[in-house]
């Protein structure tokens, strides 16, 4: 069994991304996309392997990743499909369609990073008992474990309509005054 259904591909365009579709058009889209997979995503993600030179840690600081010649750290990321990122989610009801957005989500994973001796951050790391590793060679560089931020999927978020909130609050106040 696969850990993830057949993935979307960045170079394969999505049909009508971010557009409000009728129920019939949504059904056609579902039928078309389930030819290649068993499920259809409101906000499709794309699996990508990356070999970055650095990344952001949990303190939002850039950290240099370990590399040695042809040896590089590789990470798998689930990125929002380029056609849907920051657009309204697919398959939404027309009342909330325009209040929805497909947004990139992130998580953190271990990486071997250059130990720069940043006192505050490194104290946090040493409290976690992360080991340090001296490099081969005359530079005297030390490497340690840290977390770096990686893309972990595309998610649909719905923002409430502020006008609707005000109307509901106003109705509630009037109702309380009547009782």
Rounded mean pLDDT, 152-159:
96
Bridge partners, 71 (sequence order): 68
Q: Which residues contact 91 (CB under 8 A, 6 or more apart)?
A: 21, 26, 30, 40, 42
Residue 118 has a pLDDT of 55
What CA–CA distance (Å, rounded) separates 28 from 9?
20
Instruction: Kindly state the helix (H) or strand (E) to which residue 162 belongs, with its residue range.
Output: helix 162-178
pLDDT tens digits, 118-154: 544 444 544 456 778 777 766 778 899 999 999 999 9
Q: Where are the domains of the chain?
A: 23-178
Distance, in Å, from the CA atom of 43 to the CA atom of 157, rounded to the nearest integer, reads 10
Measured from the Cβ of residue 147, the count of other Cβ atoms closer than 10 Å reads: 20
The average pLDDT across 13-22 equals 91
Task: Classify residue 65 by its DSSP letter.
Answer: B
Tell me if the domain spanning 23-178 has CATH number 2.10.90.10. yes
Supply the pLDDT for residue 9: 86
Closest CA to 63 of 174, 145, 119, 179: 145
Alpha helices in 79-161 (DSSP H): 119-127
Mean pLDDT over 93-103 rounds to: 95
């Amino acid at each position: 069994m696969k850990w993830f259904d057949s993935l979307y591909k960045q170079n394969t365009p999505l049909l009508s991304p971010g557009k409000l579709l009728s129920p019939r058009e949504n059904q056609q889209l579902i039928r078309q996309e389930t030819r290649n997979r068993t499920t259809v995503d409101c906000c499709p993600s794309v699996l990508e392997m990356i070999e970055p030179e650095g990344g952001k840690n949990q303190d939002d600081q850039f950290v240099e990743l370990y590399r040695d010649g042809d040896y590089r750290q590789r990470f798998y990321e689930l990125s929002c499909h380029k056609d849907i990122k920051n657009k309204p989610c697919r398959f939404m009801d027309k009342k909330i369609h325009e209040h929805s957005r497909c947004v990139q989500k992130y998580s953190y994973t271990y990486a071997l990073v250059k130990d720069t001796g940043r006192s505050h951050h490194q104290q946090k790391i040493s409290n976690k008992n992360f080991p340090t590793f001296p490099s081969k060679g005359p530079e005297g560089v030390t490497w340690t474990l840290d977390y770096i931020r990686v893309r972990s999927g595309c998610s649909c978020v719905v923002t409430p309509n502020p006008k609707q909130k005000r109307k509901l609050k106003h109705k509630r106040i009037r109702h309380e005054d009547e009782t």
